[in-house]
Structure 1
Amino acid sequence: MGIMRQAGSLALAGIAALALNACGRSNVDGDSVVLHRGNMAEPLTLDPHKASGTWENNIIGDMFIGLFTEDAAGETIPGMAESWEMAEDGLSWTFSLREAQWSDGEPVTAYDFEYALRRILTPETLANYASVLYPIRNARAVNTGEMTPEDLGVRAIDDRTLVIELEFPAPYLPGLLTHYTTFPVPRHVVERFGDAWVQPQNIQTNGPYRLVAWRASNYVHVTRNELFWDNDNVCIDEVFYYPTVDNAAAERRVRNGELDLITDFAGQSLPFLRQQVPDYVRVHPYLGIVYFSFNTTLDKFTDARVRNALGMAIDREFIAENILRAGQIPAHSFIPPGVDNYPGTARIGWFDAPVEERRRLARELLEEAGYGPNNPLRFTYTFRATGDNPRIAPVVQQDWQLIADWVQVDIQVVETQIHYSNMRSGDYELGDGGWIGDYNDAYNFLFLAETESVPMNYTRWSNEEYDTLVARANRTVDADQRGRLLVEAEQIMLDDMPYIPIVYYVNKSLVNPRVTGWEDNIVHIHRTRWMCFSDLEDGSAEG
């Protein structure tokens, strides 16, 4: 898909008043202050109950706000929740909501939250991300159709009081409640328009911005929601989000002043960018991991020896230092460093062995599993079209084929959104992926391997001991004991290798130094409501 084509002629034509002058580009179009954001990929949806990508979150989180939200530093702060109380056993939370309105003037109530959480867990909604809400009492049973939405442990007491009951104590609940799966939706709009409620002419929002236009493969345009409760402290009036699949083109657009920021760039460009636009470059640790997934429903990948062999053969150091080249660290675990209340001592057993020794051992494991010249191992590796992924693919293809000439690998690039859709449906053999923590807790990574987390468990791997340990950990109040149980579970997963950890992410952004309110943070969430332009703040916008 030629994602950047027509961007100048269509998106920028509507804002032709933005010109280059003696002070550089002005972001004032008439009376509006406009921000142009590169946004990695084209969103498949702007419905918070059907989204699953960070690029969708960037837009949805500017339009909707849940009980909690993020500040400029990515820290959890109150959103719609004005105050809250937790029961002594940690299983019930009561929230008092602030007075707020939807963008059409209707009040935002606790009943909107009750309706939203029931809606996302209703099987007919087909929410890919529903399993992230399974800590809520009966959420899993509702999502599988075993119980009705009315059985969900969420109830509105009155317009401004909401109670959420949990299956187990979840001290990370405020962080989870920043996630778009927990956002309210306007019941009066959804019930009237059905799935069409998110179309620009229908949608109503409770956050700083509301949707104006969505031009597929071109841009999404939002404008200030004047009824947002904190509207007086919002600087940016309009935002255009552009899909920026082509990193090189996106980097040029930032340097040329067409985009104010992008949230990813090619690692090999880092030295050039630091030389050309040093004040734009932002590189920072990120709560995320790049991994590969096996489809363990396929006969060729049911054997842990095969999965470990393919994991062993990958030269992570080469990928990090020569392909990515932006400070990524080869991953020896599935959970990245920096997770709160987690010892992080689980480790891939063969990680420290030299790569040549690992490939020799990989060959032995594959031979033990029955592969060889008379029974070659053949599979297709599919990968995302964005970022550095197309450059990594031929490297890992060669890594695997260096095990033996009877390991035969085809590689195939797939548009990012379609790639993830294929993995959720199990329509792949071995595929790449990335996971960014939705909240700072180890469970947000380990739930991806629980048996009942399909479709987010792309691998379809199932291990009873693993599931039992995670369940025990989730019912353990003591943080140290909980951490030890989760480490034990992670070690089981690493030994069985349904996912191959590759590298820990760093976030890489180019941000025009005129943009204020951008703070590097581990979750890489940057809400537009905190941003402005320095030359507007100091009154020098006209140059």
Structure 2
Amino acid sequence: MSSRVLNLRTAVLFGAVLLGSAPAFAEAVLHRGNSGEPQTLDQAHTSINIEAFILKDLYEGLTIYDAAGKIVPGTAESWTVSDDSAKYTFKLRENAKWSDGTAVTAGDFVFSFARVEDPKIAAGYANILYPIKNAEKVNKGELPLTDLGIKAVDDRTLEITLERPTPFFLELLAHQTALPISKASFEKNGADFVKPGVMVSNGAFKLASHVPNDQLVVTKNPSYWDAANVKLDKVIFYPIDDQAASVRRFEAKEMDLAYNFSADQIERLRTSYKDQVHVSPTLATYYYAFDSRQEPYSDVRVRRALSMAVDRDFLAKEIYRGSQIPAYSMVPPGMASYGEPSKADFAGLSQLDREDKAIELMKEAGYGEGGKPLNIEIRYNTNPNHERVATAVADMWKNTFGAKVSLVNLDVSSHYAYLQEGGKFNVARAGWVADYADAENFLALNVSTNKTFNYGKYSSPEFDALMQKSYAETNPEARSKLLHDAETLLMRDQPVAPFLTQADLWLVSNRVQGWQDNAANEHLSRFLSVSQ
């Protein structure tokens, strides 16, 4: 054998060794901590942000939030608004596809929105779409589904008529309730349309697998209209409501994102991880709700007294280490259309003066020292911060009124399911993150007809009337005045006791690119990438 052939054979063999030992192209995988197991992946029944984080990766609405938390076109590439601001005409993208390769049509949106308003579906968040003409009446069974103010002009043209001009309508359309489902898939699969291997979605990712309380995996959707700019191959969501475990997994580099870590860890984490610790002020309120269906919480004096006795400065500074601020209004500050919220009338008093007045009110109601015993059960969703708040509040009520306070906690899904289904309670922890940047979103929680989120079943004809007037008022200043008057009433009656204006706490690995803190707390995975 010639040396030339031998050298060629050697080169081929050597090359084969080199090729065989080269690593395969590594998948771009984002390991994303989520602070609990989703109750559902059905748009019509979703209600909490841990579901929204997943659903907005799987589906895309007419509008979306970009990385900075601003509303931008989604499946709709453009839209026009009538002169009276009561009719929107959306043009869908020509290349908008479902994950099975079929076209996303205007008819899919008509079907999806009608399904949310169908009273037989009993969607808990149906009110999100109430600005659409006849939506509320349809949802209450007073009009047929065909009267809903939405129609497909053609496959790519969707026309939505509103009851009244709604300044925040485009933001409503970015909510998870307004995400479309494939009409064809639902008609074929029914309730199973949410399952892995069955789900047909139109977002940047598609559902690959879901092992409850372990992990939920989504993979890049090659049919997505902007797939070329999606830099992740896979996102793995970990449903961890144990904050200490979440932080440990982040520190072990098992997760790239950890949501809602324990606030008492902020200083330690900042020392170790510096700018990987994100404390982002948000439009969110941390509050306790009182069950006004039963004594003594049906008595406004008891509710006001309990609220006044809570030292919000202590909660903000000692428990949340300054990452949240004391709140005396249901609406958080920072909304340009609303201005300064209407605070409770005791907000300007010192804590000692509040406690003195609280004791007087409680005695007047016949409870506390020398009166009926005060036995209180505080319910909260499992979380170290919530446990510390509940423990502190229990101690404040014990010291101020001699109350006997017990604590009950459930995982986040069970806690909110219990409240939304009308379960009775004494006092319950809740939090509300803005669905859209308007005061109405916070105040409407306590309208008597809100069966899902008016946990304590507060009923005030005066409050309801002010809210109803605000919906018909088109002048921005006059509308703001009505909403302020409504909040003044709410803070007088204290069916809910706001404690804190929240901040979102995230741990973001330095291998994650594209992350931007924003008040909307919107972080679609399609805008993120990871370094290898």
Give yes or no for TM over 0.5: yes
Contact kept in structure 2, 1:40 and 1:263, CA below 8 Å: yes
**Separation in 2 of the partners of 1:456 and 1:66?**
23
- Alignment partners' CA distance in 2, 1:243 and 1:157: 41
| Paired AA for residue 450 in structure 1 | V
What is the aligned partner in structure 2 of residue 457 from structure 1? 454
Partner residue, 1:204: 200
Could you tell me whether the CA contact under 8 Å between 2:242 and 2:383 is conserved in 1? yes
**Which 4+ runs in 1 deviate beyond 3 A?**
28-31
Q: Which amino acid aligns with 1:328?
A: Q
Match of residue 430, structure 1, among 407, 422, 427: 427
1:51 matches 2:41:
no
* Counterpart check, 1:70 vs 2:68: no
Is the partner of 2:120 in helix, strand or coil?
Answer: helix
Among 474, 499, 502, which residue is 2:496 paired with?
499
Residue aligning to 2:471? 474
Q: Which of residues 337, 340, 352 is equivalent to 1:341?
A: 337
The 5 A counterparts of 1:504-523 are: 504-523=501-520
Q: Secondary structure at the match of 1:300?
A: coil
- Is 1:220 aligned with 2:216? yes
Q: Which residue of 2 aligns with 1:484?
A: 481
| C-alpha contact 2:241 2:411 (8 A) present in aligned 1 | no
Counting only pairs closer than 5 Å after superposition, residues 45-444 of structure 1 correspond to structure 2 as 45-99=40-94, 100-372=96-368, 373-405=370-402, 407-427=403-423, 428-444=425-441
Query: 2:363 & 2:134 partners in 1: Cα distance?
Result: 46
Is the aligned partner of 1:446 residue 2:443? yes
SS at match of 1:36: strand
Report the CA distance between 1:257 and its aligned residue. Answer: 0.6
Q: 1:29 to 1:177 in 2, by over 3 A?
A: farther
Distance (Å, rounded) in 2 between the aligned partners of 1:421 and 1:297:
18
Output the CA distance in 1 between the equivalents of 2:231 and 2:35.
24
Q: Which residue of 1 aligns with 2:3?
A: none
Q: How far apart are the structure 1 equivalents of 2:301 and 2:142?
A: 37
- Write the distance in 1 (CA, Å) between the matches of 2:505 and 2:58: 24
Task: Describe the shift of the 1:329–1:29 C-alpha distance in structure 2 as closer, same or farther (beyond 3 A).
Answer: farther
Aligned partner of 2:499: which letter? I
Q: Tell me, what secondary structure is at the counterpart of 2:323?
A: coil
CA-CA distance at 1:124 after TM superposition: 2.0
> Any idea what SS the aligned residue of 1:388 has?
helix
Partner of 2:29: 34
Q: CA deviation at 1:357?
A: 2.2
Q: How many pairs are equivalent?
A: 507
Quote the Cα distance in structure 2 between the aligned partners of 1:356 and 1:333.
20
**Structure 1 residue 367, shift from structure 2 partner:** 1.7
Alignment partners' CA distance in 2, 1:152 and 1:119: 11
Q: Tell me the alpha carbon deviations over residues 457-507 of structure 1, each in whole angstroms, 9 at most, x when there is no partner.
A: 212112122222222222222222211111111111111111100100011
Partner of 2:12: none
Amino acid across the alignment from 2:446: A
**Matched-pair contact (CA < 8 Å) for 1:264–1:387:** no
CA distance in structure 2 between the partners assigned to 1:501 and 1:228 by the alignment: 42
Q: Note the C-alpha offset of 1:157.
A: 1.5
Work out the CA distance in 2 between the residues paired with 1:149 and 1:31: 49
Whole-angstrom CA distance in 2 between matches of 1:402 and 1:139 = 49
Residue identity (%)? 37
- The CA distance in 1 between the partners of 2:62 and 2:418, in whole Å, is 32
Distance in 2 (CA, whole Å) between partners of 1:122 and 1:147 is 10
Residue identity in the other structure for 1:147: L
SS in 2 for 1:82: strand
Secondary structure of 1:145 counterpart: coil
Alpha-carbon distance between aligned partners in 1 of 2:167 and 2:445, rounded to the nearest angstrom = 19
Shift of residue 327 of structure 1? 2.2
Distance in 1, matches of 2:396 and 2:190, equals 49
Cα deviation digits, residues 189-224 of structure 1 (max 9, x gap): 111111111000210000000000000100100000
SS in 2 for 1:175: helix
Q: Secondary structure at the match of 1:125?
A: coil
**1:344 shift after superposition:** 2.1
CA contact (8 A) 2:259 2:505 kept: yes
CA contact (8 A) 1:381 1:431 kept: yes
CA distance in 1, matches of 2:291, 2:150: 35
Unaligned runs of 5+ in 2: 1-22
Superposed displacement of residue 309, structure 1? 0.6
CA contact (8 A) 1:282 1:511 kept: yes
The alpha-carbon distance between structure 1 residues 531 and 345, as it changes in their structure 2 partners (threshold 3 A), is closer
Maintained 8 Å contact 1:348/1:494: yes
Report if aligned partners of 1:295, 1:429 keep a CA contact under 8 Å in 2.
yes
TM-score (norm 1): 0.91
Instruction: Please say which of residues 381-390 and 370-379 is displaced more in the overlay.
Output: 370-379
Question: For 1:26-73, what per-residue CA distance to the aligned partner results, in whole angstroms no more than 9, with x for missing partners?
Answer: xx9854210000000111111111111111100000010111001101
Instruction: Report the CA distance between 1:326 and its aligned residue.
Output: 4.2
Q: Give the letter aligned to residue 491 of structure 2.
A: L
